[in-house]
């Protein structure tokens, strides 16, 4: 399993798709899954930039994992986003359900992300939602990197402000 961590707009999905297509890996994007599956109040919650609670997210990812051959390499994009989710995933790896080979941490400034997201024009890419995502990312997601590091997993920082081809080359050189 390869995990892609980073703020929305850092390029995780683009790079996940590129790696999946080039190597034949399964690509599981939590954002894509949520946009396809959720409706009503939960959909409005994520469109406003908020995260689902840990139990809801773990339940959804668990169902997705049932569809993927755990012996095959996969790319997990946008999950985990909290310590609780990271601990759940670490327990699954320790139980032998998956092998975690690399964690790519996409580093990029708020200015670059805001510019990218405003240009893509999705309904959930408002200035308020982007600000909320940064607050959630800083408080909930950044501590995950330290948790994985403390568990001995390989963390590779990626300068996500680079052009997509450079980012892809850097990731391929690690894989």
Does pLDDT of 3 surpass 80?
yes
Domain annotation for the chain: domains and CATH numbers: 2-174 (3.40.50.300)
- Name the average pLDDT for the chain: 91
Does pLDDT of 105 surpass 90?
yes
For residues 142 and 82, give the distance between their C-alpha atoms in angstroms, rounded to a whole number.
8
Tens of pLDDT along 8-63?
Answer: 889 999 999 999 999 999 999 998 888 888 888 888 877 766 778 999 999 999 99
For residues 155 and 101, give the distance between their C-alpha atoms in angstroms, rounded to a whole number.
9
Order of strands, edge to edge, in the sheet holding 2-6? 26-29, 74-77, 2-6, 102-107, 155-159
Place of tokens 């995990």: 3
């Amino acid at each position: 399993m390869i995990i892609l961590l980073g703020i929305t707009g850092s390029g995780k999905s683009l790079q996940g798709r590129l790696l999946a297509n080039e190597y034949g890996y399964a690509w599981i994007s939590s954002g894509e899954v949520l946009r396809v599956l959720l409706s009503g109040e939960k959909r409005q919650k994520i469109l406003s930039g908020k995260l689902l609670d840990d139990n809801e997210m773990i339940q959804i990812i668990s169902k997705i994992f049932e569809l993927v051959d755990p012996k095959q390499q996969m790319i997990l994009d946008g999950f985990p986003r909290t310590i609780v989710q990271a601990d759940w995933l670490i327990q699954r790896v320790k139980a032998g359900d998956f092998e975690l080979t690399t964690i790519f941490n996409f580093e990029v400034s708020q200015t670059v992300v805001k510019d990218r997201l405003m240009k893509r024009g999705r309904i959930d890419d408002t200035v308020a939602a982007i600000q909320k995502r940064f607050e959630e990312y800083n408080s909930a997601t950044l501590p995950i990197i330290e948790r994985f590091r403390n568990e001995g997993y390989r963390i590779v920082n990626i300068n996500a402000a680079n052009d997509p081809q450079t980012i892809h080359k850097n990731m391929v050189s690690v894989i």
